[in-house]
Structure 1
């Protein structure tokens, strides 16, 4: 693998991992009050477009990380829009030990 591939892999790993702490924090605290839904609408749309672009180019290095980011950012977006009772039910199903 050349240096370009390593940089791309590192970028994909960082982008993908960047949403996991926020998603986990939401699951643990059930709090989304400080999260901008408008920002996440744009973020989710961006990941969908990048994923589609990669799919059309048959470039799985674009498709896979953007699909994971799409799912994580989409989860965060959905959680910001849910009423508190439903948010807690989702979080309880993902973290039953709380």
Structure 2
């Protein structure tokens, strides 16, 4: 039995990419603020993940589609929270985590 290092590395990369957005999204919700985050950077990040998802769809490669689509959702959430007026950002955060 051989170890499929290519898929192991790809799985680690996909999991790390998806997990990397969790701390930022949670920080926005917990602190009720997007201060210091770049709208332009997250716009480009959304574009990149949309392109990778589309690329995966065109190639029929689920290993590209699934993690990039999940990352796109996280990036769109963060982008949306940055784009909202501060009051609306706090309202959304309060709805998602009323205890903080």
Using structure 1 for the length normalisation, give the TM-score: 0.97
Consecutive unaligned residues of structure 2, counting only runs of 5 or more, are none
Q: In structure 2, what is the Cα distance between the partners aligned to 1:28 and 1:36?
A: 18
- How many angstroms does 1:63 deviate by? 0.4
SS in 2 for 1:34: coil
SS in 1 for 2:48: helix
C-alpha RMSD of the superposition: 0.8
What residue in structure 2 maps to residue 90 of structure 1?
92
What residue in structure 2 maps to residue 54 of structure 1?
56
Instruction: State the aligned residue count.
Output: 98
Q: In structure 2, what is the Cα distance between the partners aligned to 1:11 and 1:63?
A: 13
Q: In structure 2, what is the Cα distance between the partners aligned to 1:70 and 1:26?
A: 17
Using structure 2 for the length normalisation, give the TM-score: 0.95
What residue in structure 1 maps to residue 4 of structure 2?
2
SS in 2 for 1:4: helix
Moved over 2 A (4+): none
